[in-house]
Amino acid sequence: MTGAENSPPPSLPLTGTALIADHVRRLPAKPGVYRMMDAHNAALYVGKAKSLKARVSSYTRTERQPNRIARMIVATRSMEFIVTDTETEALLLEANLIKRLKPRYNILLKDDKSFPYIVLRHDHAAPQVLKHRGARSVKGDYFGPFASGLAVNRTLDTLQKAFLLRTCSDPVYEGRTRPCMLHQIKRCAAPCTDEILPEDYAELVAQAKAFLTGKSNELVAALNVQMQEAAQVHDFERAAEVRDRIRALAAVAAQQGVNPQSTEDADVAALHMDGGASCVRVFFYRAGQNWGEHAFFPRHDKSAAASEVLAAFLAQFYENKRPPKDLIISHDLPEQKLLEEALSIRAGRHVNIIRPQRGEKLDLLRQALNNARDALGRRLAETSSRHAQLAGIAKVFGLEEAPQRIEVYDNSHISGTNCVGAMVVAGPDGFEKNHYRTFNIRSEDITPGDDYGMMREVLTRRFSRLLKEKEKGTAIVPNLVLVDGGVGQLKEAVQVMADLGISQDEVKVAGIAKGVERDAGREQFFLPGQKPFRLEHRDPVLYYLQRLRDEAHRYAIGAHRRRRANDAKKNPLDGVPGVGPLRKKALLARFGSAKAVANANLADLQNADGVSKQMAKTIFDYFHDEG
């Protein structure tokens, strides 16, 4: 017998409980985070532990696990571990990884949006009040979060009426020579044209800050004194102005409804569960004012307990937000002290987690619970109809089960200019707008107006990125891809998938096009290797597919219009090397317009402030280059 015949057969890779048991032998009894992955390296579950060894070893005993955890263990093909100094650090890291990786078996906060704030700037002599989202790059005082843009706009409207603060940008402010319309309608004090003394405007800013920090009662009392004093000296115009400001502040309280007396800085998070689904309604109370509310629908297994869902929601919700002083909740949490400690670290001060039993806080919680119950009822009614539609989609396009993610693609341009591709996403929860994407067409090889070439570029970029995300375990693979168009667009889509090694079994591709009359209801559908077909005119699936196509069309046109508008706003000076905001301002002040700068000679350019002889030549050559 040969040596090859004597060698033992290659051992199969470990999976499931055998893999987990093998890892347990080497794990420390220290806090940390563990991650389970499937055969495609996609995250199945992320968990934290006080002792990694003890926690992970529990997965080796499948007979004690719920069915969903048993299925997860069987699907596990690899694991990763991160050791932390404390269990609190592990909890914070777990929340971060769950939000980033979206593991299949974790409770997931799906609709995690960034909430708007109001910022009162510090970096200008006449502070501006702004709506703000994202990183705090502007120097100033931030107030929020507000539950929606509508809540912010309502408060900004009050700040204009009551405190006459400017909302214009710095370039507009610097360029004013006379008061704008907002001053005429008594919405701005017009510091830009010195209609108000700097010290008086500073007083308005201080009053606005007092209002936003919860001192509205004291402020109204002080304004009442000012109104009475003005009336006593027969300055009735001044008295009327102060009266209008008091009315504006009173209107805020009326619009906000419930304004707590003893709860200044708190979020109320109430959970209601029904039919295996849940809704968490969060109310924001800041400065003793109701700054709005928002409903969330976490994704979880039907067997998950309410306390487990609420705890997972709170950890993920505050992963990128500063928690308030008080967090009022509807259920006791399994590790409430640990979560309280983690949120305190994130806030930089102590955070109280409270489940009230009486008083004003209990009234606020009951209001939030009622709203959560109503929102979940509406959601379940909508979801029932949507599940039927998705089941119909599966039947029409030959899918094994109802799709969880549908991606729809469309292009928009005018005569080949400002070409934009768009992707919209839909699933069991409706349109998932935080997953929408736009693609500015970059390829110089595409002939203007080449819809096939644009579709090819969009799909290549999207699915090339998906393959990279698969390697990292973060990919969300669509079950169905719909392209707006007929046979040509479908061929391009199928070819892109083939070139990237993505099979039709993994991602189904179909085309949707209007019929020859281009009437809604006469759409044709295309599948690879099949004849075009239509659906019955009154088929609910047809209506749903029309909505998908129309949403992609709407989003593509909107992206195209935004790009066209941005191009229209561009100043010819933006492309000149070395010309930044200050030089551009100096050139426009000297010549009056970009066109005049382009027509100026070298001598005139050198006379502009901040423009050297070499820079003047650069500007001149930019506009007069014959090559």
pLDDT in tens, 165-197: 888 888 888 888 888 888 888 888 899 998 889
In a domain, 325, yes or no: yes
Q: If pLDDT is split at 50, 70 and 90, which confidence band does 555 have?
A: very high
In a domain, 112, yes or no: no
**pLDDT greater than 70 at residue 111:** no
**pLDDT greater than 50 at residue 627:** no
Mark which of 379, 395, 420 sits at the end of a domain. 379
Q: Which helix (H) or strand (E) holds 511?
A: strand 508-513
- 357 and 429 housed in the same domain: no
Lowest mean pLDDT among 44-58, 228-242, 529-543, 560-574: 560-574
User: Domain range spanning residue 611?
Assistant: 572-624
Q: What is the pLDDT of residue 394?
A: 94
Q: What is the pLDDT of residue 259?
A: 56
pLDDT in tens, 206-246: 888 888 877 766 777 777 887 888 888 887 877 877 787 77
- 562 and 430 housed in the same domain: yes
In a domain, 391, yes or no: no
Residue 103: CA atoms inside 13 Å, Cβ hemisphere, count?
25
135, 142 in Cβ contact below 8 A?
A: no
Q: How far apart are CA 190 and CA 173, in angstroms?
A: 9
Q: If pLDDT is split at 50, 70 and 90, which confidence band does 393 have?
A: very high
In a domain, 51, yes or no: yes
- 126 and 247 housed in the same domain: yes
- 361 and 497 housed in the same domain: no
Tell the burial category of 517 from Cβ atoms under 10 Å away from its Cβ (0-12, 13-18, 19+): exposed
- 615 and 485 housed in the same domain: no
- 279 and 233 housed in the same domain: no
The dihedral built from the CA positions of residue 258, 260, 266 and 269, taken in this order, carries a sign that is negative
In a domain, 239, yes or no: yes
On average, the pLDDT of the chain sits at 85
- 30 and 163 housed in the same domain: no
Helices (H), 164-296: 170-175, 181-184, 198-212, 216-232, 236-256
CATH of the domain at 339: 3.30.420
The mean per-residue pLDDT over the stretch 70-99 comes to 93
**DSSP track, 221-248:** HHHHHHHHHHHHTT-HHHHHHHHHHHHH
- 462 and 532 housed in the same domain: yes
In a domain, 576, yes or no: yes
- 127 and 23 housed in the same domain: no
Domain count, the chain: 5
- 218 and 249 housed in the same domain: yes
Pull the structure tokens for residue 318.
Answer: 């505050």
- 368 and 342 housed in the same domain: yes
Lowest mean pLDDT among 24-33, 75-84, 309-318, 592-601: 592-601
- 46 and 131 housed in the same domain: no
In a domain, 388, yes or no: no
**pLDDT greater than 90 at residue 450:** no
Q: If pLDDT is split at 50, 70 and 90, which confidence band does 613 have?
A: confident
Q: If pLDDT is split at 50, 70 and 90, which confidence band does 431 have?
A: very high
Mark which of 216, 233, 256 sits at the end of a domain. 256
217, 261 in Cβ contact below 8 A?
A: no
279, 379 in Cβ contact below 8 A?
A: yes
CATH of the domain at 526: 3.30.420.340
Query: Residues of 129-146 as b/e, b for ≥16 C-beta within 10 angstroms?
Result: bbbbeeeeeeebbebbbb
Q: What is the pLDDT of residue 51?
A: 95
In a domain, 1, yes or no: no
CATH of the domain at 607: 1.10.150.20
Q: Which helix (H) or strand (E) holds 277?
A: strand 277-286
